[in-house]
């Protein structure tokens, strides 16, 4: 669901700002494998990653921990802004990013992606009394998205930057729409369902899908050893039903 904005000077500056003091697990000086991997995510994206009483939970969190178990390492979670995830992996301050991240050609220029572990749908959410029935009705409207996501890029391309309202936390967009500041939100369908279920008197999800996407794990370009191990773990989780069990726990 999420598409990283093209790397610019601003992106490069982020490298020095995000995750200050956080370092990905470096190989031991004697050649031994690391005992910890750092996963960066944006814990504002239920049911994939979110905080519950200070504890990280969600599909991606449980999958990452299970991958860690299979690799024999501890997984440390680093919670940062979504548009800082790829720069953080590129800088080596995290070993991998897992945050409902869509595989795109632009992102593949910056990082390597694992095998797909989940397929998602970008959906449109509007106020319950909205006259918007589909994409064709969104022209000339104010559209809310989470900064740096594929929803951000798709809508910018389709409707123009002047139509966009960007939020670092998508829940802020829902609050803005509730107060009449924007007309629609484009977001992952499972995130939409989780929020709309809590306030169905205010919001509704349109039946027409906006886009379909594949989610995967991002690692630093050239880190083939880690990528191969993650792919092996994902394939095993798919074949033995562990991945499905985790997804079913959060998505009914």
Question: Domain extents for the chain?
Answer: 9-117+216-250, 120-212
Q: How far is CA 152 from the centre of its chain?
A: 12
* Identical topology for domains 9-117+216-250 and 120-212: yes
Residues in the chain, pLDDT under 50:
2-23, 26-30
For the entire predicted model, the pTM comes to 0.71
Q: Which residue has the tokens 């991958």?
A: 67
Q: For 9-117+216-250, CATH number?
A: 3.40.190.10
- Torsion from C-alpha of 48, 54, 55, 60, nearest 10 degrees: 20
pLDDT for the residue numbered 42: 95
- Separation between Cα atoms, residue 138 and residue 131, nearest integer Å: 10
- Torsion from C-alpha of 18, 155, 114, 217, nearest 10 degrees: 40
Residue 139's contacts (CB-CB under 8 Å, 6 or more residues apart) are 159, 163
pLDDT for the residue numbered 3: 40
pLDDT for the residue numbered 24: 59
* Torsional sign, CA 129, 135, 137, 139: positive
**Helix locations, the chain, DSSP H:** 9-15, 59-71, 85-91, 105-108, 150-159, 170-178, 189-198, 224-239, 242-250
pLDDT for the residue numbered 46: 86
pLDDT for the residue numbered 22: 46
The single-letter DSSP state of residue 33 is P
CATH superfamily of 120-212: Periplasmic binding protein-like II (3.40.190.10)
pLDDT for the residue numbered 15: 37
């Amino acid at each position: 669901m999420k598409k990283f904005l093209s790397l610019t000077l601003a992106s490069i500056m982020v490298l020095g700002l995000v995750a200050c003091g956080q370092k990905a697990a470096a190989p031991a000086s004697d050649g031994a494998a690391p005992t910890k991997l750092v996963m960066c995510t944006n814990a504002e994206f239920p049911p994939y990653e979110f905080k519950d009483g200070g504890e990280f939970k969600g599909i991606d969190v449980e999958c990452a921990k299970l991958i860690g178990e299979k690799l024999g390492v501890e997984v440390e979670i680093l919670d940062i802004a979504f548009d800082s995830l790829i720069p953080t992996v590129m800088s080596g301050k995290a070993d991998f990013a897992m945050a409902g991240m869509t595989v795109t050609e632009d992102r593949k220029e910056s990082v390597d992606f694992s095998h797909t572990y989940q397929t998602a749908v970008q959906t449109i959410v509007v106020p319950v009394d909205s006259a918007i029935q589909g994409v064709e009705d969104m022209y000339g409207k104010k559209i809310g998205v989470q900064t740096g996501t594929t929803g951000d890029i798709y809508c910018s391309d389709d409707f123009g930057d002047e139509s966009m309202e960007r939020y670092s936390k998508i829940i802020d967009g829902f609050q803005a729409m509730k107060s009449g500041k924007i007309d629609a939100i484009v977001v992952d369908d499972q995130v939409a369902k989780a929020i709309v279920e809590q306030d169905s008197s205010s919001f509704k999800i349109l039946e027409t899908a906006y886009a379909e996407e594949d989610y995967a794990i991002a690692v630093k370009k050239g880190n083939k050893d880690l990528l191969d191990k993650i792919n092996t773990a994902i394939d095993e989780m798919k074949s033995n039903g562990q991945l499905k069990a985790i997804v079913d726990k959060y998505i009914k």
